[in-house]
Amino acid sequence: MAAQSEVNFETQLQPEQTFPLTQNELEQFHTRGFIGPFTLMEPEEMKANWKRLRLELFDRTRTVYRDAQPGTGVYNYDRHLDISLLADIISRPEITHRMASILGPDVLCWRSEFFPKYPGDEGTDWHQVDTFGGADGIPHITWPNGSDFGGAMTAWIAFTDASPEMSCMQFMPGTQRTMYFDESKGMHYDPKKENRKEINGVLRGFFGYDWRELQKDPNWTPDESQAVSMPCRAGQFLIFPTTLMHASTPHSARTKDIRLALAARYVPTSVKLYDNMKESNTVKELGGTYSLDQYGAVLVSGRNEYTHNRMRSHTTRGKEFVNSNSR
Ligand SMILES: O=C(O)CCC(=O)C(=O)O
């Protein structure tokens, strides 16, 4: 993981508008591998945003992946590249200043993904993500040689409440530096597997995949006694590296309400994105495929001194992305 670099938050920001992690928080983060929940906005504001977003998600005329297949996990990938509300959220200083405290000053948001859980849905099974190539075995991101860390730093942003009965996140503290999975093995997709299987007595799965196919040791099982549940109110967010063992509880609440989270993924600018897809220009994941023709990473903090990644300065609707720490 990048050592903490000196981060100079914009001088025109008032102290109450800057959000670096404190030394204590950083220590806690490095020991446990996660931190939060932090408040991005009040529940009522987030619930109103979700109401608006529900309608905006239907309009796919400006999405960068118009070729993505309905019903697959990739269908609503990277909607921050066309929806202004999401463009604002992934660039919010409450998130990006904290990311800069962990990753160093120069930070990209390279992806956003929705995780909807409907009543009765399985929880997401225990997993760790290093290369993001779990589906096809091909790394989607490449850290520079010698980096002691892969994966991406996630801001897991709750659009609705996420209680233990309503699919809250779970973590295994301190597992972020030991990979129990090898994504180069690849997995088999079978949507019929969804919401069907109990693992250790809990309804869990991985969106039509079985992440356990990637286990380095087929006989290993996660030690659930180590699991910590992290409920969030709508408008709160958690930060964790994808290499931390993480999961979510099933949505077993007696309600008609969905649980919805947006996972925004951040990396330093030195990380190469989709370098292995240069020829095909196509990504395969979560049962779907999409072309990278209109893709670009977003600089949310600092400077980009590299030319290896495609970048976007504006959404497809012409809204400029905000860099909350432009050095
Ligand atoms: O929200 C979930 O159920 C899982 C989220 C997750 O696995 C992630 O953000 O990496």
DSSP string, 167-235: T-EEE-TT-TTS--B-GGG-----GGGTTT-EETTEEEEBTTB-GGGGBSSTT----GGG-EEE-B-TT
- Distance (Å, rounded) from C-alpha 263 to C-alpha 10? 26
Give the ligand 1 atom nearest the CA of 162. 1
Distance 116 CA to ligand 1 centre (A): 9
- pLDDT bracket for residue 9 (50, 70, 90): low
Q: How close is the Cα of 247 to the center of ligand 1, in Å?
A: 6
Residue 61 DSSP code = T
Query: What is the mean pLDDT of the segment spanning 243-261?
Result: 96
Q: Which of 93, 91, 89 has the alpha carbon at shortest distance from 114?
A: 89
Atom of ligand 1 nearest to the CA of 124: 3
- Total number of domains constituting the chain: 1
Q: Does residue 5 lie in a domain region?
A: no
Residue 131 Cβ inside 6 Å of ligand 1? The answer reads no
Quick check: CB of 112 below 6 Å from ligand 1? no
CB of 325 within 6 A of ligand 1: the answer is: no
In short, whether 251's Cβ falls inside 6 Å of ligand 1 is: no
319 within domain boundaries = no
- Does residue 293 belong to any structural domain of this protein? yes
Mutate to test the pocket of ligand 1, among 111, 128, 154 (most ligand atoms within 8 A of CB): 154
Using 50, 70 and 90 to split pLDDT, how confident is the model at 1? very low
Residue 325 lies in a domain: no
Q: What is the CATH number of the domain that holds 223?
A: 2.60.120.620
Q: Which of 140, 181, 248, 266 to mutate to test the pocket of ligand 1 (most atoms within 8 A of CB)?
A: 248
Give the residue from 143, 166, 150, 176 showing the smallest Cα distance to 31: 176
Q: Give the position, in ligand 1's atom list, of the atom nearest the Cα of 167.
A: 3
Provide the H-helix boundaries in the chain.
23-32, 43-58, 84-90, 93-103
From the CA of 113, give the closest atom in ligand 1: 9
- Return the higher-pLDDT residue of 5 and 318: 318
Residue 90 lies in a domain: yes
- Pocket-testing residue among 169, 203, 286, ligand 1, by greatest number of atoms within 8 A of Cβ: 169
Domain span at residue 25 reads 18-301
Residue of the nearest CA to atom 7 in ligand 1? 247
The residue among 154, 213, 206 whose CA lies nearest residue 184 is: 213
Which H or E run includes 108? strand 107-117
Residue 258: inside a domain: yes
Lowest mean pLDDT among 140-154, 218-232, 246-260, 296-310: 140-154
Low-confidence winner among 61-65, 72-76, 118-122, 173-177 (lowest mean pLDDT):
72-76
SS3 state of residue 117: strand
Atom of ligand 1 nearest to the CA of 117: 3
2 or 32: which leads in pLDDT: 32
Site of tokens 């992934």: 90
Atom of ligand 1 nearest to the CA of 154: 9
Question: Is 59 a domain residue?
Answer: yes
The answer as to whether 4 is a domain residue is no
